[in-house]
Amino acid sequence: VLTVRKAQCFCCEHMHVDPVTGKDIPCDRKLVTDALVQWFSEDFGDDVKGGRDAVLDYFDGLAQNAVHPHLESLGSYTVPYAYTLIMGLPPLWFALGRASYVEHLSWHDRMRWACFLGTILFS
């Protein structure tokens, strides 16, 4: 069941601490629910009974009744391999276009280019 209250978010999974810097980070869920309350409370006017919970219930109802059926109708669609290769061509062309520039790079930078190209070609 789709519900905004049970949505996974990066900040809550990491106890609201950035795993790289160790600094506190704001709660994504709170930011999203605050925005939803601000946007959808206009639909209720001054008659919001239950305040925040009523608005979030309203949004959950929209998601479950208007969006979820369309998502289910898509099934388990996957992108064909040929399309994936085609989508990878522009970055490859960019990298190949920069190949003439590589001769002027240091060994370290050449290794980074090689890793970049390998990632494009073999992903």
CB–CB of 64/35 below 8 Å? no
Segments of 24-93 assigned E as strands: none
Give the pLDDT confidence score for residue 22 in this predicted structure: 93
Angle between helices 81-97 and 107-122 (to 10 degrees): 160
Task: Provide the token pair at 39.
Answer: 């946007």
Give the pLDDT confidence score for residue 94 in this predicted structure: 72
Comparing CA positions, the residue from 3, 54, 9 lying closest to residue 29 is 9
The pTM for the full model equals: 0.50
Residue 66 CB neighbour total at 10 angstroms? 9
Cα–Cα distance measured from residue 38 to residue 98, given in angstroms and rounded to the nearest whole number: 48
Residue 59 CB neighbour total at 10 angstroms? 21
Q: What is the pLDDT along the chain (123 residues), one digit of tens a residue?
A: 778 888 888 888 999 999 999 999 999 888 888 888 888 777 666 555 567 888 888 888 888 888 777 777 776 667 777 887 788 777 777 766 666 665 666 767 777 767 776 666 665
